[in-house]
Amino acid sequence: MILDIGFLDDATRPVVPRLQGLTPAQRAGGEHLKAVHDHLRDNMKTIRVLIDRAVEGLASEEDVASETASLAMVANFRRFGNLCGQHCQIVDAHHSIEDAHLFPVLAAISDGYRKVAERLEAEHVVVHDLLERQIDTLNALVREPSASRFADARTVFDALERVLASHLGYEEDQIGDALGYYGLA
């Protein structure tokens, strides 16, 4: 299901020195980035709880529908169309903007930021692959509900959850302060 994905080793991530003496205004860009990421993390936590409850037989279809309806992400996506399709489009657009506009500017600052930007771009490829596979497994589960289809969807979600959480933290840590410090926010 995910064995052919080119997962990257977190230990090989390049790092840049921490920026010192930032003003609150300079930290605001990184704080905004973290707030956006926290929204994604919160939704992933809610989905994780529902998956775990479903596995244990503690969540009915009605429970899942009711509990996910309160997610801001779900409410917004319902207004504009298909949940998975919209989510993937938003993540893809977010990553495309970073890849095309933010990372080249960061890369021009220093060799260290260039290496970080290249790594973040490579991680975007892995996240995108996982998002596509998540959609595929969910569509297969809808077409043919079964324990094996659920297991496939859960396997991909577990990998997506792990990779995305790590990616978001790395991105915040390496470029968050730089957004305000260099006037990129």
Helices (H), 56-146: 61-69, 72-80, 83-97, 103-109, 111-143
Instruction: Tell me which residue range forms the domain holding 159.
Output: 23-181
Tens of pLDDT, residues 120-177: 999 999 998 998 888 788 777 767 777 888 888 889 989 999 999 999 999 999 999 9
Assigned domain for 35 exists: yes
This prediction has a pTM of 0.82
Neighbours of 21 (CB within 10 A): 6
Assigned domain for 142 exists: yes
Assigned domain for 14 exists: no
Residue 108 makes CB contacts below 8 A (sequence gap 6+) with: 114
Assigned domain for 119 exists: yes
Assigned domain for 12 exists: no
Assigned domain for 43 exists: yes
Neighbour-count burial for 170-184, b at 16+ CB within 10 Å, e otherwise: bbbbbbbbbbbbbee
Assigned domain for 141 exists: yes
Tens of pLDDT, residues 6-16: 999 999 999 99
Tens of pLDDT, residues 2-59: 989 999 999 999 999 999 999 999 999 999 999 988 888 887 887 777 677 766 666 5
Assigned domain for 9 exists: no
d(CA 166, CA 159): 11
Structural domains of the chain, count: 1
Give the CATH number, domain containing residue 146.
1.20.120
